[in-house]
Amino acid sequence: MITTPRPAPLALVVCGALAAEVRRILAQRGWQADLYGVPATYHMRPPSIVAAVDEHLERIRDHYRKVIVVYGDCGTAGHLDRVLERHRAERLAGEHCYEVFCGPRFSALTKRRPTTYFLTDFLVRNWEEVVVREMGLGRAPSLKGKLFAGFTSVTFLRQDPDTDLMRKAEGIAAYLGLPLEVEDVGTSELESQLERLLSDVE
């Protein structure tokens, strides 16, 4: 008798900007999952997020009992959700990783600081590659004034109170010529969302 292999329990298609935190949470909680990454730089081109996630899901969906996409909408204007619906996959709640990290606090925070520029640990750590290089600020420094003209402050949504990251965040704020605010958000909201989505996985 020929038996069909049983699909593996779980796969996560993960934004590169959340990958380190997701791996840490999985290890701490003892959750088993196969991870498939999408470059964080695709945030500069949201259609690339949709295409990359679609490609991953097309390739892996029949090999897992459940697939979770570790993204918010992330500027895709609902196109990502349509892809997930077609592939019967689920994603994190929220519009973007800032909201994923903050949870309900994010709405109040944006009302209090509607013109702030948000940083996360990932953005601080990868500022040169993800922002300066992708936006062309190294080639054309004059773009800085145009791209950041509407912002009046920088808010660092800090996952880990790391001294080196704090120092770098201060340097980014100085580079932008804006005051820096710090909100310690940790990763508990991200962990709660993953726990909710993994609750029915054997």
Domains in the chain, number: 2
Q: Residue 2 falls within a domain, yes or no?
A: no
Q: In what order do the strands lie in the sheet with 34-38?
A: 34-38, 8-15, 64-70, 90-91
Domain that includes residue 24, residue range: 8-96+187-198
At residue 141, the pLDDT reads: 87
Return the residue matching tokens 């080639």. Answer: 139
Q: What's the rounded Cα separation, in Å, for the pair 92 and 129?
A: 25
At residue 2, the pLDDT reads: 43
Answer yes or no: pTM beyond 0.85. yes
Q: Residue 3 falls within a domain, yes or no?
A: no
At residue 5, the pLDDT reads: 53
In the chain, which stretches have pLDDT less than 50?
1-4
At residue 202, the pLDDT reads: 62
- Looking at the DSSP assignment, which residues form a beta bridge with residue 156? 119, 182
Q: In what order do the strands lie in the sheet with 116-120?
A: 116-120, 153-158, 180-184
Q: Which two tokens stand for residue 64?
A: 């897992």
Q: Are 183 and 109 in contact (CB under 8 A)?
A: yes
Residues 50 and 83 in one domain: yes
At residue 99, the pLDDT reads: 93
Residues 113 and 125 in one domain: yes
At residue 200, the pLDDT reads: 80
